[in-house]
Homo-oligomer: A and B are copies of this chain.
Amino acid sequence: MLVGHRTWVYENKPVIISTGTVGGPFEANGNIPNDFDILHDNMWLKQDSFEKSQQKMMEEACQVAVKNSSIQKEQVQFFIGGDLINQITPTSFTAKTLDIPYFGLFSACATSMESLALSAFLINGNGADYILSGSASHNAAVEKQFRYPTEYGGQKPPTAQWTVTGAGCALVAKEGKGPVITSATIGKVVDMGMSDPFNMGGAMAPAAVDTLETHLRERNVEPSYYDLIITGDLGHIGRHVSLDLLKKEGIPISEDQYVDCGLTIYREGQPVLAGGSGAACSSVVTYGHFLNQMKQGLINRILVIATGALHSTLSVQQKDPIPCIAHAVSIETGSDMS
């Protein structure tokens, strides 16, 4: 099951039997509105704080995933997830509402694939029959915590990214219909000394390349094995940096094959600077858009490399560089996709 030093191959092929994706008004106006199960027309969802609005979206994503399956919520053994808010309170409060045993995680925007890799491992090793795996973020809650309240109207450089408002959840099972999870490569913390919190894509690119290079070597496949290699939220800057690094390392990858969730979710003209980001970015785009493409037969094998910047406002104020990580999970067409 462990191949190489940090890659798992799941011989029992856990299945994503259903998903739930929720977005806000900015996402509704974006590039892939039809790939969301629920879209909200305002940022509040009738809650009295943005953090509770994020919690509500995570609850909805989990509820939709269960509703879209043939099982009952009571059959789910574990909820595994996290988010960007201090002490991941929106995720913990979701675990309370769901009333499902809970593992809290933190890998910033790489949490989606940290969660999916662990969920698949637990299912593969008979640790559970059903697991809900997810991540969420909220633009206004994250801006308030990491930068300024959005009402302040703070200006940003063009390297900055736009935090996705949304939540994405996958219901992973031992057997059933749907795409299967075939392997995962766990990230190392990579830190190239970058300390600008307004250029996260650039900081995270080397982590994505390190995980991709390790994955290809340890799983012993060529990049062409995958129809798409999908990064989490590198944005324009990070994508270019990582393509340069891949070229330098002699890894043959075509530009068409190498896509980014942060560049998929919004359309041209939306003021998202270098692209989308946030813990929800890779989960909503993967579980919504790319799994839909897979169900439609347009693609058969994807590798999702979720990227995370593991800093805090305090670590940036204390002049620490931004430690980054990337976790990769491969998802492939199952024998029964109907």
Which residues does A use to contact B, with CB under 8 Å? 1-2, 5-6, 8, 48-49, 51-52, 77-78, 82, 84-89, 92-93, 95-96, 99-108, 114, 118, 121-122, 124-129, 186-189, 191, 310-315, 318, 320, 323, 325
Further pairs besides A87-B312, A124-B125: 15, Cβ < 8 Å: A1-B127, A5-B77, A5-B101, A48-B318, A84-B87, A85-B314, A86-B312, A87-B311, A89-B311, A95-B188, A95-B325, A101-B186, A101-B188, A103-B114, A104-B106
Q: State whether A96 touches B189 (Cβ < 8 A).
A: yes
In the complex, chain B residues whose CB is within 8 Å of the CB of A311: 87, 89
Across the interface, name the chain B residue whose C-beta is closest to A312. B87
A6-B78 in contact (CB<8A): yes
The reply to whether B51 and A315 form a contact with Cβ atoms under 8 Å apart is yes
Establish whether residues A310 and B1, one from each chain, have CB atoms under 8 Å apart when the complex forms.
no
Contact A1 B126, beta carbon cutoff 8 Å: yes
Alpha-carbon distance between A124 and B125 when the two chains are bound, in angstroms = 9
Q: A122 CB to closest chain B CB, in angstroms? A: 7
Bound complex: CA A126 to CA B114 (Å):
18
For A6, what are the chain B residues with a Cβ–Cβ distance below 8 Å?
A: 77-78, 101
Pairs of residues from A and B, 10 with the lowest C-beta to C-beta distance, nearest first: A125-B125, A87-B312, A96-B189, A92-B310, A6-B101, A101-B186, A104-B106, A86-B86, A95-B189, A89-B315
B residues less than 8 Å from A104 (CB atoms): 105-107, 114, 310, 325
From B49, B86, B126, give the contact of A2 (CB < 8 A). B126
Closest residue of chain B to A187 (Cβ to Cβ) is: B101
The distance in angstroms between the C-alpha atoms of A105 and B107, with both chains bound, is 8
Residues of B contacting A314 in the complex (Cβ-Cβ under 8 angstroms): 51, 85-86, 89
Q: How far is the CA of A325 from the CA of B92 in the complex (A)?
A: 9
> In the complex, what distance in Å separates the CA atom of A36 from the CA atom of B77?
37
Contact of A318 among B49, B121, B127, B310 (CB under 8 A): B49
- List 15 A-B residue pairs with CB atoms under 8 Å apart, sorted by A's residue number: A1-B125, A1-B126, A1-B127, A6-B101, A84-B87, A86-B312, A86-B313, A87-B106, A95-B323, A95-B325, A101-B187, A104-B105, A104-B310, A105-B106, A121-B121
The reply to whether A320 and B93 form a contact with Cβ atoms under 8 Å apart is: yes
Q: Report B-chain residues with C-beta under 8 Å of the C-beta of A125.
A: 1, 121, 124-125, 127
For the complex, give the distance between the alpha carbons of A126 and B86 in Å: 33
